[in-house]
């Protein structure tokens, strides 16, 4: 505790950090954390870091890779988190030309928070890569906050089953959160992503002490704009109802408003407005967007890996289990496995193969390379397999039947998407066209299935979704009902009149190619 606080006294860039350079990389390292091995790993890059420290990768967003490892500092083992920021698009690269890197912004924000009496993990180093005048990458390394946990983990226990002392700790934590956020806003400070997972809490003699993570978007204003104040309060209250009850929210707002000297009438209006906005954010549509972002990054459910020129994301259930093969091996062998499997379709556009992997009956669809212009178009639009992966998860969230997605692979050459692969579970069923013409199917069964297909299309319409390629072979009839396949052309529309045009086109194609 005292060491971390001392670490930050006078921690400006000029007085507390040494600058070291090698080729295109510049590293700023704290004077009291100099270590030849640590500095060599930072200067040499990710490969050397893995060789020296064998870091563990931590779940993070698509725009970053986070590693945890242990550094020997003056005979003491210190856990360090290293966050490497990754441009996710050409536009993000362009934006970084006109402003400081994410690592430097996080550093500046952390120093600013410390000056105003707010805590954040101590930064031991940060660095930037340059190619001429252009920044090509950046990273930041922070110390682990000992004996601290994210607030959402500390609140995970159901309050109805907690003992008296534990319940008091929980209530004090919620009050401490409200008081601290209230002080931040009173000081004109806005946190870029104030979700409960980005706030660590540690129990100390004087009560709970909070530490703020992911500070690259944290800013100080002479007067905090109301929209940013509301945004932070909604982010805090985005926790599920079972985790953060209405009574907990009232405890939070009571302490928050005390720190901001809010009049009673204003307080009631503020609470009502924030809770209304929170409910909208927690609605089905917003929940869908939030879940789709999660399925593109490493977390408790998904694994994101890079194998040579291939970037892949897999469902962890597909990778785990006793005797399961490493997913990196699956990526390396993907074409050979498809050649050995049962070919369901093979043309210039794509190849579909059924095979067994990790004792799972799966289907792999490879979207072939069809020229430079084709690759450029799908690089801009994102790979077709990636789109199919996202749309399959979207339908799953909305309880619309589709084969369960298992993973996707994006094969690149330079910045271009060359090929992509989508892996799903195999679903046994008849295509709709053959089902309706099967003499063994009763008329009653045909009527039931026709009604189910109509309901499925109505449900797509409810969310303004069109399939984009709704032909007979893309609707399978199973024992439990119709299942949609081949989702890479699917679209979600904001404009209602344009959606209606596309919806009618979808249905006309299905009727033309399927129904007698």
408: part of which helix (H) or strand (E)?
strand 405-413
- Note the pLDDT of residue 220: 95
Round to whole Å and give the CA distance between 401 and 483: 5
- Name the token pair of 103: 């690592």
Q: Let me know if 193 is exposed, middle or buried by CB neighbors in 10 A (0-12, 13-18, 19+).
A: middle
C-alpha count within 13 angstroms, C-beta hemisphere, residue 474: 18
- Note the pLDDT of residue 6: 43
Round to whole Å and give the CA distance between 49 and 45: 6
438: part of which helix (H) or strand (E)?
none
SS (H, E, C) 277-306: HHHHHCCHHHHHHHHHHHCCCCCCCEEEEE
The torsion defined by the Cα of 44, 47, 48 and 52, in degrees rounded to 10, comes to 160
May I ask the CATH architecture of the domain 297-425? 2-Layer Sandwich (3.30)
May I ask the CATH architecture of the domain 430-514? Orthogonal Bundle (1.10)
Superfamily name with CATH number, domain 151-282: Transferase(Phosphotransferase) domain 1 (1.10.510.10)
User: Do residues 398 and 463 touch, judged by C-beta distance below 8 A?
Assistant: yes
pTM of the model as a whole: 0.65
Same fold, 2-143 and 297-425: yes
Round to whole Å and give the CA distance between 511 and 405: 27
User: Do residues 293 and 393 touch, judged by C-beta distance below 8 A?
Assistant: no
CATH classification code of 2-143? 3.30.200
- Note the pLDDT of residue 9: 45
pLDDT in tens, the chain (516 residues): 344 444 444 456 767 888 998 888 899 999 888 888 898 989 988 888 888 898 988 877 767 889 999 998 888 899 999 998 877 666 666 666 677 888 999 999 999 999 999 999 999 999 988 877 777 889 999 999 999 999 988 887 545 545 566 778 888 999 999 999 999 999 999 999 998 889 999 988 888 999 999 999 999 999 999 899 999 998 888 776 556 777 888 889 889 988 887 656 677 888 888 888 887 776 766 677 778 888 888 887 888 888 888 999 999 888 765 445 688 889 999 999 999 999 999 988 899 999 998 888 999 999 999 888 888 888 888 899 999 999 999 999 888 999 999 999 999 888 888 999 999 999 999 998 888 888 888 888 888 988 998 899 888 988 889 998 888 888 999 988 899 999 988 998 888 888 888 888 888 888 776 655
- Note the pLDDT of residue 2: 42
Domain boundaries, the chain: 2-143, 151-282, 297-425, 430-514
- Note the pLDDT of residue 398: 87
- Note the pLDDT of residue 322: 47
Count of helix runs (H) and strand runs (E) in the chain: 19, 24
């Amino acid at each position: 505790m005292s060491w971390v606080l001392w670490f930050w006294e006078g921690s400006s860039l000029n007085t507390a950090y040494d600058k070291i350079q090698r080729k295109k990389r510049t590293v700023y390292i704290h004077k009291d954390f100099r270590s030849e091995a640590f500095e060599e790993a930072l200067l040499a890059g990710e490969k050397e870091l893995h060789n020296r420290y064998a870091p563990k990768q931590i779940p993070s967003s698509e725009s970053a890779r986070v590693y945890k490892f242990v550094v020997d500092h003056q005979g003491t083992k210190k856990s360090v988190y290293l966050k490497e920021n990754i441009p996710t698009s050409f536009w993000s690269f362009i934006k970084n030309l006109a402003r400081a890197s994410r690592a430097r912004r996080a550093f500046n924000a952390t120093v600013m928070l410390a000056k105003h009496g707010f805590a954040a993990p101590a930064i031991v180093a940060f660095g930037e890569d340059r190619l001429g005048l252009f920044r090509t990458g950046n990273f930041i390394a922070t110390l682990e906050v000992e004996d601290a946990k994210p607030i959402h983990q500390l609140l995970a226990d159901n309050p109805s089953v907690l003992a008296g002392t534990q319940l008091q700790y929980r209530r004090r934590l919620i009050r401490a959160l409200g008081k601290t956020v209230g002080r931040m806003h009173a000081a004109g400070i806005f946190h870029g992503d104030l979700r409960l997972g980005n706030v660590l809490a540690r129990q100390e003699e004087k009560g709970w002490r909070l530490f703020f993570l992911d500070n690259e978007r944290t800013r100080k204003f002479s007067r905090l704009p109301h929209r940013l104040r509301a945004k932070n309060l909604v982010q805090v209250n985005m926790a599920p109802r079972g985790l953060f009850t209405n009574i907990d929210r009232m405890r939070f707002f009571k302490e928050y408003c005390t720190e901001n000297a809010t009049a009673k009438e204003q307080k009631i209006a503020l609470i009502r407005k924030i809770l209304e906005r929170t409910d909208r954010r927690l609605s089905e549509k917003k929940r869908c967007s939030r879940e789709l972002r999660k399925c593109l990054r490493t977390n408790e459910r998904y694994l994101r890996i890079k194998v040579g020129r291939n970037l892949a994301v897999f469902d962890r259930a597909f990778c785990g289990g006793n005797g399961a093969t490493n997913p990196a091996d699956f990526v390396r062998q993907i074409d050979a496995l498809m050649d050995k499997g049962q070919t369901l379709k093979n043309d210039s556009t794509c190849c579909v193969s059924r095979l067994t992997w990790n004792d799972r009956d799966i289907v792999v669809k490879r979207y072939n390379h069809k020229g430079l212009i084709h690759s450029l178009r799908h690089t801009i639009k994102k790979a077709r397999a990636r789109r199919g992966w996202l749309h399959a998860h979207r339908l799953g969230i909305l309880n619309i039947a589709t084969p369960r997605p298992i993973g996707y692979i994006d094969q690149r050459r330079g910045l271009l998407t060359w090929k992509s692969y989508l892996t799903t579970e195999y679903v046994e069923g008849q295509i709709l066209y053959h089902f309706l013409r099967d003499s063994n199917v009763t008329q009653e069964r045909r009527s039931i299935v026709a009604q189910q297909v109509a309901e499925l299309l109505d449900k797509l319409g409810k969310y303004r979704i069109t399939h984009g390629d709704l032909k007979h072979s893309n609707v399978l009839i199973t024992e439990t009902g119709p299942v949609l396949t081949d989702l890479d052309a699917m679209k979600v529309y904001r404009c209602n009149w344009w959606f209606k045009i596309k919806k009618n086109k979808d249905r006309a194609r299905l009727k033309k190619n399927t129904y007698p």
